[in-house]
Amino acid sequence: MNARIGERGRVTIPAEIRRQAELHKGDAIDIEVVPEGILIRQLERDPDQAWFWTPEWQAKEREADEAIAAGQTTLYLSDEEFLAALESRMSRT
């Protein structure tokens, strides 16, 4: 499998390799130059954060990213603003 070094030295790991190695956005990896070439190892995840990497949670993360990209979210600049909007919605039901 081939990859190219892009702008600012970035390399995209091909999707097939990411799937096989179960690599996900945010995973920590170690890159080492060895006599045989370049070795890339996935670093262990924090066990306290394992819930984040479950397929169910990752599906929800993708759903949230899509909603943000589509402009289907509301930004509240303070807790008070959020709570007022929530209270307003609750009083309408």
Instruction: Tell me: pLDDT of 22 over 90.
Output: no
What does the mean pLDDT of the chain come to? 87
User: Please, what sign has the CA dihedral across residues 58, 63, 64, 70?
Assistant: positive
Domain boundaries, the chain: 1-45, 54-93
What pLDDT digit, counting tens, does each position of 66-78 carry? 999 999 999 999 9
The span from the CA of 46 to the CA of 3, in Å, is: 29
For residue 37, list its beta bridge partners.
34
Which pLDDT belongs to residue 4? 85
What pLDDT digit, counting tens, does each position of 30-73 carry? 888 888 888 877 777 777 877 887 888 989 999 999 999 999 99
Instruction: Collect contacts of 12-15 with beta carbons under 8 A, ≥24 apart.
Output: 13/40
Q: Which fold has domain 1-45?
A: Pemi-like Protein 1; Chain: D (2.10.260)
DSSP three-state, residue 40 = strand
